[in-house]
């Protein structure tokens, strides 16, 4: 009798214990696999950092490539004092900041009009904007190249091999997506809000700047981050449209100028690439939640 009581008492406790043990093991396995994946995902940037701290002699020696024996900042000093690299950086920064501004000036009013002011063809236009986002740049660079060459022929304005031609090209990548996610954010604002503003005698410009932009600020930040990241990272357009060293932006500059013939100065290439990856990474580190919101909004909203 007592034995039976003990077993009936013990059984549920044991089962409970095994469940928590299962849970603990599941957790351990989760952490284990997450660590494995994190190593895989972080290995290239970490290796960039490792290589950037080495001298050329150490890079070409037969020592362990995963360890720095004589750390030095020589590569950083050399790159940051080279006027060529600073030109790339300046071009990249100028292009990205201006493109972000252009993108916001075009896409925010357009998104407002498409989300709130129904007019003839507005739904079709919204769908069209989304379709434009799906057209990759690899489909357009050849006809655009020819078009710009023709513009030069007819008007004499030289567009090829000028860094500011990128200001025309990058918005084709950023504007459709930014408009699309801003439509989503604006559409989620309750109608009562702009009706109240209309009752108070606000015009459309005031509704946009006083009500919509402040309320949809998270979306605006997400769109800005997206536009900046895309323009900073774009590789195909500058590679096709710019060639002289003083017109290049960072990604193309590193690939074409630091690789001289067959000589790869890996220490400097890795340093340049790491510094080039820094601005998006820093923005991401500080605004991660907005970044992720923008990323998921593109496909989940609509």
Residues 86, 87, 88, CA angle at the centre, nearest 5°? 90
Candidates 142, 196, 217, 245: give the one binding other proteins (CB under 8 A).
Answer: 142
CB of 1 to other proteins, least distance (A): 32
Backbone angles phi, psi at 176, to 5 degrees: -55, -45
Q: In the range 55-94, which residues lie near other proteins by CB under 8 A?
A: 59-60, 64-66
Residue 5: CB minimum distance to other proteins, A: 28
- The piece of 1-9, 26-34, 80-88, 210-218 that touches other proteins (CB under 8 A) is 26-34
Question: 92 near 249, Cβ under 8 Å?
Answer: yes
CB of 4 to other proteins, least distance (A): 27
The window from 12-20, 76-84, 190-198, 276-284 that contacts other proteins (CB under 8 A) reads: 276-284
d(CA 134, CA 128): 10
Closer Cβ to other proteins, 6 or 222, answer by number: 222
Nearer to other proteins, 72 or 301 (CB): 301
Given the complex with other proteins, which of 142 and 196 has the nearer CB atom? 142
C-alpha Rg value of the chain to the nearest Å? 27
- Of 83-91, 115-123, 189-197, 210-218, which part binds other proteins (CB under 8 A)? 115-123
**One of 3, 134, 199, 263 touching other proteins (CB under 8 A):** 134
Q: Which residue matches tokens 């004589």?
A: 70
Name which position in 227, 247, 251, 268 contacts other proteins (CB under 8 A): 251
Q: Report in angstroms how near the CB of residue 246 gets to other proteins at its nearest.
A: 19
Is 239 a binding residue for other proteins by CB under 8 A? The answer is: yes
175-204: contacts with other proteins (CB under 8 A): 175-176, 179, 204
Using CA atoms, how far apart are residues 217 and 118, in angstroms rounded to an integer?
23
Measured between alpha carbons, how far apart are the two ends of the chain, in Å?
66
Q: How far is Cα 203 from Cα 253, in angstroms, rounded to an integer?
A: 47
215 vs 239, which CB is nearer to other proteins? 239
Work out the number of other CB atoms within 10 angstroms of the CB of residue 162.
15
With respect to other proteins, which residue has the nearer C-beta, 87 or 238? 238
212: left (phi over 0), alpha (psi -120 to 50) or beta: alpha
Stretches 2-10, 75-83, 114-122, 214-222: which one binds other proteins (CB under 8 A)?
A: 114-122
| Contact flag: residue 42 with other proteins (CB under 8 A) | yes
Contacts of 267 (CB under 8 A, 6+ apart): 51, 52, 54, 55, 56, 59, 74, 75
Among 53, 95, 129, 248, binds other proteins (CB under 8 A): 129
Residue labelled with tokens 């013939």: 261
Q: What single-letter DSSP state applies at residue 71? A: -
How many angstroms separate the CA atoms of 186 and 108, rounded? 9
The residue range among 118-126, 151-159, 192-200, 213-221 that interacts with other proteins, by the rule CB under 8 A, is: 118-126
Instruction: Tell me the closest approach of the beta carbon of residue 3 to other proteins, in angstroms.
Output: 30
242 touches 168 (CB < 8 A)? no
Quote the CA–CA distance of 272 and 270 in Å, as a whole number.
5
- Only one of the segments 11-19, 192-200, 215-223, 227-235 lies at the binding site for other proteins (rule: CB under 8 A); that segment is 227-235
Token couple for 175 = 């504007």
């Amino acid at each position: 009798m007592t034995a039976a009581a003990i077993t009936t008492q013990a059984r549920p406790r044991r089962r409970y214990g095994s469940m928590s043990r299962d849970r603990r093991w599941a957790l351990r396995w989760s952490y284990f696999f997450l660590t494995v994946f994190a190593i895989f995902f972080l290995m290239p940037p970490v290796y960039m950092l490792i290589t950037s701290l080495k001298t050329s002699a150490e890079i070409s020696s037969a020592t362990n490539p995963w360890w720095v024996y004589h750390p030095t900042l020589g590569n950083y000093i050399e790159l940051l004092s080279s006027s060529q690299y600073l030109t790339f950086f300046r071009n990249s920064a100028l292009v990205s900041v201006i493109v972000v501004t252009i993108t916001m000036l075009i896409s925010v009013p357009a998104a407002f009009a498409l989300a709130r002011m129904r007019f003839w063809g507005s739904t079709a236009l919204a769908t069209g904007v989304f379709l434009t986002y799906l057209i990759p740049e690899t489909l357009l660079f050849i006809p655009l190249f020819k078009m710009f060459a023709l513009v030069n022929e007819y008007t004499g304005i030289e567009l090829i091999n000028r860094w500011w031609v990128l200001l025309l090209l990058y918005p084709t990548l950023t504007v459709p997506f930014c408009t699309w996610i801003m439509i989503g954010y604006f559409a989620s604002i309750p109608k009562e809000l702009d009706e109240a503003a209309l009752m108070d005698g606000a015009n459309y410009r005031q509704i946009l700047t006083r009500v919509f932009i402040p309320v949809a600020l998270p979306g605006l930040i997400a769109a800005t981050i997206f536009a900046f990241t895309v323009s900073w990272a774009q590789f195909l357009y500058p590679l096709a449209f710019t060639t002289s060293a003083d017109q290049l932006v960072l990604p193309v500059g590193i690939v074409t100028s630091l690789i001289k013939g067959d000589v790869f100065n890996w220490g400097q290439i890795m340093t340049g690439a790491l510094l080039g990856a820094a601005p998006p990474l820093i923005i991401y580190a500080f605004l991660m939640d907005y970044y992720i919101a923008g990323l998921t909004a593109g496909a989940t909203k609509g």
